[in-house]
Chains A and B, each alone.
Chain A
Amino acid sequence: MLSKTVLVVDDTAFMRMTLKNMLEKNGYEVVAEGEDGVKGVELYKELKPSLVTMDITMPNKDGITAIKEIKEHDPDALIIVVSAMGQKSLVIEALNAGAKDFVVKPFQPDRIAEALAKLEG
């Protein structure tokens, strides 16, 4: 199976690294990392990854706006929201904006793998 390409968008380097490690362990290839919504949208247009993980609260452009813009550009984009606990309404907003699924920080590693597996299936 060809490894799937992933774009990780998160404003903290720590989260980007954690996500990257987890994704790579599960056979994904992290092709790029964006530290805010602006960068995230740019990188998506440039690289067309098969999957995006998107943080919600980020400087310059928040995750929800980024999701909307990516979805506008590519309605088939597959985006997973990465959210902190207690952001329920934001997650719902992100889902309504077109995100396919969400995971909650702090991660349970197998939870991410499971979510990804479900998305692919």
Chain B
Amino acid sequence: MDVSQYAELFQAEAEEYMQVLNQCLLNLEKNPKDTEELQEAFRVAHSLKGMAGTMGYQHVCNIAHGLENFMEDFKTLEREPGPEVIDLIFEAVDVLQEALEQPDKSTEGDRQKWEQLLIKMKKVRDKVCNNEDLGSPCKHDNAGFGEDELLLGAMDKEILRQAEEGGNSPYIVNISLNEDALMKSVRVHMIFKAMEEFAEIVISDPSRQELEEERFERSFRVVLVLEAGTPEGLKEALEHITDVERVEINLWGTGENDGAASAGPLSEAESEAVKAEDDTGKDKVSEEGTGVYKEQPEKENQEVKNTTPENEVSEKAPSGDQGQGSRAADKMVRVETQKLDDLVNLVGEMVVARTRITEIGHGFNEDLDSTIDQLKRSITNLQDTAMELRMVPIDQVFGRFPRMVRDLCREKGKKVQLYISGEETELDRSIINRLSDPLVHLLRNAFDHGVESPEVRKDKGKNPEGSIYLNARHEGNQVVITVEDDGSGIDPQKIGSMAVEKGVITEDEMNQLSKDDLISLIFFSGFSTSDEITDVSGRGVGMDAVRNSIEALHGTVEVSSEINVMTRFEIRLPLTLAIITTLLVKSNGQLYAIPVEVINENVYLDSKEIKTIRGNPVVNLRGEVIPLYTLSSLLGFEHTQVNDEECSVVIVEATNRKAGFIVDELVGQQEIMIKSLGSFLKGLKGIAGATVLGDGSVTLIIDVAGLLSEGRDYVEQNSFSG
């Protein structure tokens, strides 16, 4: 079987698994008693091993296997993994991550690195095993593979122990259903019902719930304690159920007294044998029939070695691991992002055509009208669906941060807890991809400049452990992301003096600016609020870079802060970049589209209401003085004076600044598809792009944030320097 076609799927899924793994370890670090986290991490490593094995990525497979065994030892011994252990697991995860970058190429150096880590892991494991467990050997020092992988809880173990004391034998039952079995969950129900007549069921793999939700392929395993009848009788009863293809019943071995010491998880032999591990059970069925009720580890190991990779791939199909993969595959389809983009583009064209056809066809013929109405509804639905396809949970970005903060804590000797909420919030994929850098920057800033060192915090009477809150939520047509820390806050006076020092503002201006405005000055280049510069942030890439990236996404970022209480950054982003709702306006005879997100309101002003301050037109709108600009002159066009008694003004707000655009006419609201201006006209300040309107004409889309910063220069030129 050629597996190379699955390489991409493997990568994508492995990436997800790695994130889960990291998350589990972080949780485990916080709460080492949480066996569920360890179990989940173990399961993920196990799945990765299976996937890598199928792909033939031997190095990845070995690492995942070593990791799995290492974790399993702690799980089985019910030993709390201490910091030393968790650090080692993290280290192994990093090695695994590295290996995943080029899974088909591993160098001698890679392997040596892994082997050295294995030796370290072995040492730590031996320490835990020998010193603390009164000589009881680690499971992997003498147990084989197979049934012992079932994840038993304390309760399950208790049942098994009692059963053995009471003279009842525990068995492990492997069941496979026919390939084309329908309503598998009902078969499972029948199988469990039949088993319950003979035995008490201890545990199943996958869990009974998963089985009843049909989240398995064909095979599953059940550990039970036989209370009535014989294993042969049970086997016969199960085989009588329709769609049951194969039943295998074995005594549940504890593995401890089976002798036949293989050298443990860290031996080469076993690492090599990993590939075939999952299939040993199945091999036995076909090769030895069903008469064997006691496993022979020695024999098993031999079989393992004999299993060729070809067998492995074909035999793998019915195993549990594969089942997991296809479980997700049942509900999900992975699609190349380019195809999605193409689809959204096409839908965008249709949206434009919809507008056009409505204009042309209206009133022409009643039948045509109703057909167009129907078409419009379908296109609207299609548009919504296409947009949803591009939506991905923001967790894809957030998921990396807990690990980042943990590592920073270790490195910098700070104690910071990261609280994440709203990670399920969905956002356009293209936005998510470009959100990572600014968020990393904000978080690092919060960590470095925000949260104080534990000593300083103690002196201030704060909890020595700092907190950073990362939240995402939907608000109307926007996604709001906040990054908040409970650190030292931003001192507006300090920022103000710095801005004066750097020549960003004059001392006069500083005295006039409000506290919030002063704090917002950090978005100008060249600011660093911490006195010392560390390698975390303060590398010269300032908050202006953050603001620029957010604004490039048609978003806004605002900051608020209380000294010694908190600093909060609030990012607002549109749900999607491809299609936006705009207000069409006419200025100097030309049509422009202004994104409605930045529009506060539209007002008609009597020319008498327009006042001037230092020669610049302003309006006093409900007590707030707002500067006015004629849109076309802001854009650099010759401005033909409009002497109307009344003029239309669009009040916009971006980057914390308000302004009024005087326009000739408000044309109407319209959804448009953003097209870039192409490389030739790229970077044109004040213009976000262009769009084709329903009638085929091209209109420019106004980049209000960009234009307002231009406007500032414009004002400055006219009032201060001019």
Chain A residues packing against B (C-beta within 8 Å)? 83, 85, 88, 91-92, 95, 101-104, 108, 111, 114-115, 118, 121
Contacts and interface: CB of A to CB of B under 8 A. Distances in A.
A114 B183 contact: no
A88 B186 contact: yes
B458 interface: no
Given A88-B185, A95-B189, A104-B182, 13 more contacts: A85-B182, A85-B183, A88-B183, A91-B183, A92-B186, A95-B186, A95-B193, A101-B190, A102-B183, A103-B242, A111-B180, A111-B242, A115-B242
B642 interface: no
A104 B186 CA distance: 11
B513 interface: no
Contacts of A115: 242
Q: 10 smallest A-B Cβ distances: which pairs?
A: A104-B182, A115-B242, A91-B186, A101-B242, A92-B189, A118-B242, A118-B240, A104-B183, A88-B186, A88-B185
B263 interface: no
B242 A114 contact: yes
Contacts of A111: 180, 242
A93 to B, nearest CB: 10
Contacts of B124: none
Interface in B156-205: 180, 182-183, 185-186, 189-190, 193
A49 to B, nearest CB: 20
Contacts of A102: 183, 186, 242
B610 interface: no
Contacts of B190: 95, 101
A8 B619 CA distance: 86
B59 to A, nearest CB: 43
B137 to A, nearest CB: 45
12 contacts: A88-B185, A88-B186, A92-B186, A95-B189, A95-B190, A101-B241, A102-B183, A111-B180, A114-B242, A115-B242, A118-B241, A121-B240
A108 B241 CA distance: 17
Interface string B333-372: 0000000000000000000000000000000000000000
A85 B181 CA distance: 12
Contacts of B182: 85, 104
A110 B182 CA distance: 13
A120 B185 CA distance: 23
Contacts of B183: 83, 85, 88, 91, 102, 104
Contacts of B193: 95
Interface in B206-258: 240-242
Contacts of B241: 101, 118
Nearest to A87: B183
Contacts of A91: 183, 186
B456 to A, nearest CB: 61
Contacts of A101: 190, 241-242
B196 to A, nearest CB: 13
Contacts of B189: 92, 95
Nearest to B236: A121
Contacts of A85: 182-183
A67 B183 CA distance: 20
A68 to B, nearest CB: 17
Contacts of A88: 183, 185-186
Counting chain A CB atoms within 10 Å of each CB, which of B180, B186, B190, B240 scores highest? B186
Nearest to B193: A95
Nearest to B182: A104
Contacts of A95: 186, 189-190, 193
Given A92-B189, A95-B186, A108 B180 contact: yes
Contacts of A121: 240
A100 to B, nearest CB: 9
A118 B180 CA distance: 17
Interface string B281-301: 000000000000000000000
A108 B242 CA distance: 13
Contacts of A104: 182-183
A100 B550 CA distance: 64
A118 B240 CA distance: 6
A121 B185 CA distance: 23
B208 to A, nearest CB: 13
B677 to A, nearest CB: 52
B75 to A, nearest CB: 34
Nearest to A92: B189
Contacts of A92: 186, 189
A115 B180 CA distance: 13
A102 B241 CA distance: 10
Contacts of A114: 242
A8 B357 CA distance: 58
A26 to B, nearest CB: 14
A91 B212 CA distance: 13
A95 B189 CA distance: 9
A82 to B, nearest CB: 12
A58 B190 CA distance: 24
B6 to A, nearest CB: 29
A103 B183 CA distance: 9
A114 B193 CA distance: 21
A115 B185 CA distance: 17
A98 B190 CA distance: 11
Contacts of B180: 108, 111
Among A88, A95, A108, A115: residue with most chain B CB under 10 A: A88
A85 B240 CA distance: 22
